[in-house]
Structure 1
């Protein structure tokens, strides 16, 4: 089927967005391709369409369970067979899923990068008719990227098993050095980058210096109508800010990763369907959500990187209508961000002690636990070993970056069952155990495929049909599992900790001081870029962001807070640049009085020169020295 027919049949679109078709054709020509599209640019279609146009299965490497589940659900709704392998699945479930990919009609297999190095995956992959490898969020492969995952470095090993299958890497956040690094680490046969400008002409980026952020937030939301996302940096504040908005007559709710799956789904759906106007969230909100009519994204705290800020602010205005990315700023925010960066690098001894405590907590002997996963309650662990949860989290993240283990995001894993007896043996069991006959029949009537695959179930729904309690259903399922009639995996919302190497003695744990130093240096550089963006008053906000992504020749946006101040000067960009360049050259040679400075500027009216000087002084580019002469600030 032609790619345009596929787009129309499954997505209902008559045409591709800019660059999508070029990316798709590059993949279909068998070329390794790096696709850079800004948030909301339609990255998933770039690998889903070419995969559907060819025989075989597309293997998608993705870092987030929530994203995998979301995409599998969306493809399934469109009648496309897709499956995912992620933390929380048993080895039996993984085995069955991979068999279906090798011998069935599955079109998309989503898998985390940690899974591709396991023997079971490698062996089954050999039997699969793979037509494309898609690497989503590919910036994770680079140590210069803002979310480095060491397991991404193993992706290039797939070439040894399927040397003729092209790689299509996709990301919305990559600086020039990350772009180069992605292609190098994935061993592209030749450089091939297809990039859409990161410019979002409809978004006005605004920084507001404000001590009373809550009052200003209410004013902003009252003056700019429409849906909004408000980002804060901790879970407690999501609730506090949402309640403040509610008290001020604004429909608002809060969201974070600590909520149950049902709570998150309800809050998310209410916001998507416009029953809730404002969602106040940690950075857990937004991945995979494509709501086009978001008018404002407000950050109440400084983000840790411009990549994170750009991605989150970019959730505004996907309908191409005017939207705002607003950062509320007070002087203490700089100190808080610096403290967060410092605290996110615990000392090496603390990291080793945390690793040892984990082994005690899970009762793991030395040399075991390779590729084994454990549900992990960070609050319980921290309390038991007298650690701060914040410190534990960052120790685990550092151990993750060193390749020792992997901590998944908090994630809802629903209950699943599979009948282990065949139909004849099950009938015999029901005859011998009449007490469980009705129970088993109700389950069989409620769900399909129970003899072939692990199937999601809802204990509460089963209880309603049997007119009993959920607890009694859970007890019955555990009893049937004990008798090996079924396999039963009970639901959980906890994240999972997976050991990527056999458990070591803590004294044998090697953490490179150079790696530690390098990662801290990268984090500090990213922080400095955020501080420059936030506290700069003389350069267009959009130009700062675009320059960070390597787009050095961009024009002023004309709509950010800095540009609006510049617009009041009533000078064209050419006039302003001409005067500013002359002023800079003169004042770098020697300090001058304002009269001498104005008289030195050629071919520009005096009143315009004075306006530029005033603007540069207000924005601290020109300063007055102790002799009352003007200097260019170093």
Structure 2
């Protein structure tokens, strides 16, 4: 058995891995402290703001350890992105998430046991399945990473009950250390994360949330679109504009393009290919502005965003801080602007009943769901059903927003699992050996072009399922997307490949059998307590935008438990207070006029000489001299000021 490397050897190994796979010479901020801690098998909590480089803190030590790192994250898009990025670096990684078939999951888990993989990304909902727990016992797990770890705390702004299962996973792996990571956590959430993850000892590393290069601005206006145009015309550089709903992303984008400001829109309802194209255009600078819902931003690495504008108020400081933090990651001056109208207060308060509809309404939604699926009493356990919320609302005369909230509350209460708009990217696996590919040459020139494009574009297609993009393959082959799809289906029928086409749909997964609606129990922890905390977060957001006396940076830092004794000097509140202070320090105009006349009655002076004797703002002196000249009290002869006699 190999001996455990000492601290110096660990540090050297981690630095070598960083250079080999990422090309960096040194770690940033608290990355190295976190890595050293988890490398020594200590349970560790890392608080790192957006853009702080969280992924490095678990990927580097996992590569240094024998075995595989289990990464638990709710962000499926980010999960897929990181798996692809790791594969590009030659690192073996897999992912399991809601919406995958049982067969896909079994193949993935078998690969984890026998395939020498370094990372398994998994959504928290998948932890509780019998098949996962059975296979987990056969895996060599080196460490557990819990991303977005604030989701485990009922005090957090995005609590997810599935996260509570992580503690049970720890019991199956008692000697495996856990690394919890989050970008936003209040002091009570920090304590709760460590308690719920069964930390052996408290161990927290904090990166300061202060962003010295980021100016926080709240612009009060009743004409938001005019103010938006004014800001974008006044300030150069790349921008993100956040809005509340999908319809508004398209409307604002059309407005900006009509005003000759290049823009694209982005939301969760777009297909992967469209998202990729628009993201690439924005990241390359071809499109200046991305107008988006909060679906945009996670894992987006664009350091030179100069401005983030919120057209609508987020419903928590945590969400706002993450989104605003996407500006100025390059350390250069950037701005985070909220456009605030008086009506926003009413709009934000309306989200409370939308997010927490009455309990009777929730029970009605549950009952109608059974009619929708024709589910008999006592049936349903482990059933998976596709869910079309528009069709459901049309049949039972509901509005989508409160129905979505009701299903989320039923998920929290443990009656079902609702995955909103699950996007499963197309995947392919060759079921023949590479040396059998010669058989396919007789299938025609187009088929040969497609197969060659797949082999050139993607690695590992003979060993496990690989995500593919039909639009990208169409561009590379000169074929249409439809032709690509039909040819892949044909190859699948011939058992040459296993092809799982792209599909976008929400799912309802029954975690228990159907019960009578009146027997649905929604506990105070799931409903009343969470509703009260939601109201508290909304009020904190409103306090932030209506405040005009406290530095905005200090308000944000204070919310996250970070004490700061100095003002930022660059937010709108600081600028306003400084202007008022200057104005109060200046003597009134009449007094200044009398002082200027008194000095000039004793000697004639240039304006510069006058400024030396009477220090004041240069613009103000110019104003005083113009006034005295207009009143005929002074004259200038060859640039020398004197009293008119």
Using the size of structure 1 for normalisation, the TM-score is 0.83
Q: Is the 8 A contact 1:118 1:371 kept in 2?
A: no
Pick from 247, 251, 261: which aligns with 1:250? 261
Pick from 23, 36, 60: which aligns with 2:71? 60
Change over 3 Å in CA distance of 1:473–1:238 after alignment to 2 = closer
Of residues 33-42 and 69-78 in structure 1, the stretch that sits farther from structure 2 once superposed is: 69-78
1:557 equivalent in alignment to 2:563: no
SS of structure 2 residue aligned to 1:555? coil
1:308 equivalent in alignment to 2:319: yes
Name 1:531's counterpart in structure 2: 542
SS of structure 1 residue aligned to 2:421? coil
Write the deviation string for residues 148-169 of structure 1: whole angstroms up to 9, x where unpaired. 1000011011121110010100
Name 2:85's counterpart in structure 1: 74
Q: Where does 1:456-535 land on structure 2 (aligned, <5 Å)?
A: 456=467, 488-513=499-524, 515-535=526-546
Question: Where in structure 2 are there 5+ consecutive unaligned residues?
Answer: 1-11, 586-645
Cα separation, 1, equivalents of 2:476 and 2:149: 46
Change over 3 Å in CA distance of 1:23–1:475 after alignment to 2 = closer
Write the deviation string for residues 498-555 of structure 1: whole angstroms up to 9, x where unpaired. 3333443433322125632111111100011001001011000011111100113442
Cα separation, 2, equivalents of 1:23 and 1:298: 32
SS of structure 1 residue aligned to 2:145? strand
Cα separation, 1, equivalents of 2:281 and 2:297: 14
Cα separation, 2, equivalents of 1:402 and 1:461: 42
Name 1:342's counterpart in structure 2: 353
Name 1:319's counterpart in structure 2: 330
Cα separation, 2, equivalents of 1:258 and 1:246: 21
Name 1:126's counterpart in structure 2: 137
Change over 3 Å in CA distance of 1:159–1:211 after alignment to 2 = same
Cα separation, 2, equivalents of 1:6 and 1:411: 34
1:150 equivalent in alignment to 2:150: no
Cα separation, 2, equivalents of 1:154 and 1:549: 26
Write the deviation string for residues 339-397 of structure 1: whole angstroms up to 9, x where unpaired. 11222211112212222333343444544554554333222222233221112111112
Cα separation, 2, equivalents of 1:538 and 1:478: 64
C-alpha deviation, 1:18, in angstroms: 1.1
Write the deviation string for residues 35-70 of structure 1: whole angstroms up to 9, x where unpaired. 001111111101111101111100000011111011
Cα separation, 2, equivalents of 1:503 and 1:426: 50
SS of structure 2 residue aligned to 1:304? coil
Name 1:617's counterpart in structure 2: none
Name 2:242's counterpart in structure 1: 231
Cα separation, 1, equivalents of 2:461 and 2:370: 36
Change over 3 Å in CA distance of 1:470–1:271 after alignment to 2 = closer
Cα separation, 2, equivalents of 1:294 and 1:469: 35
1:406 equivalent in alignment to 2:417: yes
Of residues 518-527 and 380-389 in structure 1, the stretch that sits farther from structure 2 once superposed is: 380-389
Name 2:643's counterpart in structure 1: none
Of residues 70-79 and 467-476 in structure 1, the stretch that sits farther from structure 2 once superposed is: 467-476
Change over 3 Å in CA distance of 1:383–1:159 after alignment to 2 = same
Aligned length: 568
Name 2:201's counterpart in structure 1: 190
1:393 equivalent in alignment to 2:404: yes
Pick from 24, 34, 37: which aligns with 1:26? 37
Q: Where does 1:605-620 land on structure 2 (aligned, <5 Å)?
A: none
Q: Is the 8 A contact 1:66 1:411 kept in 2?
A: no
Name 2:594's counterpart in structure 1: none
Using the size of structure 2 for normalisation, the TM-score is 0.81
Name 2:54's counterpart in structure 1: 43
Q: Is the 8 A contact 1:294 1:317 kept in 2?
A: yes
Name 1:163's counterpart in structure 2: 174
Structure with bigger gyration radius:
2
CA-based RMSD: 3.0
Cα separation, 2, equivalents of 1:537 and 1:316: 23
Q: Is the 8 A contact 1:444 1:450 kept in 2?
A: no
Q: Is the 8 A contact 1:253 1:279 kept in 2?
A: yes
Name 1:361's counterpart in structure 2: 372
Cα separation, 1, equivalents of 2:129 and 2:372: 25
Name 1:219's counterpart in structure 2: 230
SS of structure 2 residue aligned to 1:494? strand
Pick from 96, 100, 113: which aligns with 1:89? 100
Change over 3 Å in CA distance of 1:385–1:530 after alignment to 2 = same
Q: Where does 1:5-16 land on structure 2 (aligned, <5 Å)?
A: 5-16=16-27
C-alpha deviation, 1:422, in angstroms: 9.2
Cα separation, 2, equivalents of 1:459 and 1:511: 44
Q: Is the 8 A contact 2:98 2:126 kept in 1?
A: no
1:299 equivalent in alignment to 2:310: yes
